[in-house]
Amino acid sequence: MTVARFLPTDRAAYAPGGRLANPIARAVRAGERVYLSAASALRPDGTVAGLGAAAAQTDAAFDAIAEALAAAGGSLEHVVKLTTCVVDSAHRKPVYEAIARRLQGVFPVSTGLVVGGLPLPELTVQIDAEAVIPMPGHGAVRKHRQFALKDWFGQDIAWQGAMISTSDEEIFIRGQTGSALDGKSMAGPGRQAADAGAQADLALANLATLLREAGASMEDVGKITVFIPDRGYRNAVYPMIGKHLRGVHPVSTGIIINGFARPEILFEIDVQAFPKQGGAKHRRVRPYHSKNARYGTEQQPLDCDFCMAVRAGNRVVLRGQTGMGLDEKMYGLGDAVAQAEKAMDNVAILLGEAGARVDDIVKATVFVTDRAFLAGVCHAVTKRFGAAAPAFSAIIVKGLASPELLMEVDVTAIVPGEAR
């Protein structure tokens, strides 16, 4: 598999001196898959287009996405998934209607989040897009359960999407919440931890249904990213994850955010899944049970089967890495940059154990819990990229798995050549 990187840049208005330590790519193409850096209204000169206008900022972001896809040989019609971050739920309607205009007839799967902040305070929206440009001899992307958002709990938003899309090499799933698959009822209507647990239970049951309809199964799940609005919900939602994914051992990232598409949502799960190549199961590196793992300085009584890295064909996805060393010790207490250094030490080791290198990284996403940490953490992460030039995203969130964790980095790598 050939990996090509397009539109490299080291410019970032939030980085020290306006420059990242090493270049990133606005698009990375690996076979049919295109990984894209987060897009916003941030211009190359550091100014922001559409100040105060969410729809205008969305259009500017899509101009950037279209330019990056064109460089990789594609167009907006090849978008299969969006993760849309807004800083205020009031922006959701103008943002999604602007997206719908740009992606008319495309029917992407989507996850929508309200986050603590974006790389500059002036930004109201940031979009992570994922794309597939089918290779000769490969089938077209198949989109299942297309729907209109106006039929989803009666939301007054002109938007059309799909619940799940499948390519020959990857499965893309709409972020699953406690909503029934017909969009007419909701589990866990209160705000208690038990309500969050009920929503997680239904979300995972929905996930199993969608995968089955797409000809896949829970065994194809490689990575989960769990979003909750309060750390107090962890002890209720993770046992539900453990129940539905028993024995699967995905990698995981846990993020605390400000909100979701609707105020009643307390849980959302994003999933990366990969069809088995030649019927072979994915390789799970360093499998563990969560009750035996530390999150920050303490163990948490969760009941889940996870691992540190998943190898699916040429793809490698890692558990979100923090200042927790692979020796189960916490490094860099109170120091986000030191935590980022340890996280990247972990990344290098885990990639090696999965048969990959840091130079094989195609996408990295940094989460920080305070804007004050962003520049230093992004510098510490990007200085380790060397020649990799991956696609890159950065988001400010409300919190992570424990209060001691100030940053987390998600990493995906593609091993060139034949799968092994």
**pLDDT mean for each 10 residues of the chain (420 residues):** 93 90 96 97 91 96 98 98 97 96 96 97 97 87 92 88 94 96 93 97 98 95 98 96 97 97 96 88 94 73 92 96 95 98 98 97 98 97 94 98 96 79
Amino acid at 236: A
Give the Cα separation of 169 and 139 in Å (integer).
Answer: 10
Q: How far is CA 40 from the centre of its chain?
A: 16
Among 252, 269, 257, smallest CA distance to 231 is for 257
Side-chain half-sphere CA neighbours of 40 within 13 A = 27
Domains of the chain: 3-307 (3.30.1330.40)
Q: Is there a contact between 295 and 229 (Cβ–Cβ < 8 Å)?
A: no
Please say whether the beta carbons of 42 and 145 come within 8 A. no
Provide CB contacts within 8 A for 141, sequence distance 6+.
80, 132, 134, 165, 166, 167
CA angle 308, 306, 165 (to 5 degrees): 90
What integer pLDDT is reported at residue 418 of this predicted model?
56
pLDDT value of position 277: 79
For residue 138, the model assigns a pLDDT of 79
pLDDT for the residue numbered 108 = 97
For residue 271, the cross-strand partners are: 224
pLDDT at 145: 95
Strand pairing category for 391-396 and 305-306: unpaired
> Contacts for 147-150 with beta carbons within 8 Å, 24 or more apart?
147/183, 149/96
Gap between the Cα atoms of 178 and 189, Å rounded: 9
CA distances (Å), 323 to each of 9, 39, 377, in order?
Answer: 27, 27, 11
Secondary structure string (H, E, C) spanning the chain: CCEEEEEEEEECCCCHHHEEEEEEEEEEEECCEEEECCECCECCCCCECCCCCHHHHHHHHHHHHHHHHHHCCCCHHHEEEEEEEECCHHHHHHHHHHHHHHCCCCCCEEEEEECCECCCCCCCEEEEEEEECCCCCCCCCEEEEEEEHHHCCCCCCCCEEEEEEECCCCEEECCECCECCCCCCECCCCCCHHHHHHHHHHHHHHHHHHHHHCCCCHHHEEEEEEEECCHHHHHHHHHHHHHHCCCCCCEEEEEECCECCCCCCCCEEEEEECCCHHHCCCEEECCEEHHHCEECCEECCCCCEECCEEEECCEEEECCECCECCCCCECCCCCHHHHHHHHHHHHHHHHHHCCCCHHHEEEEEEEECCHHHHHHHHHHHHCCCCCCCCEEEEEECCECCCCCCCEEEEEEEECCCCCC
What is the pTM assigned to this prediction?
A: 0.96
Distance between CA 410 and CA 316 in Å, rounded? 11
Using the structure block, give the residue that is written with the tokens 């030039």.
389
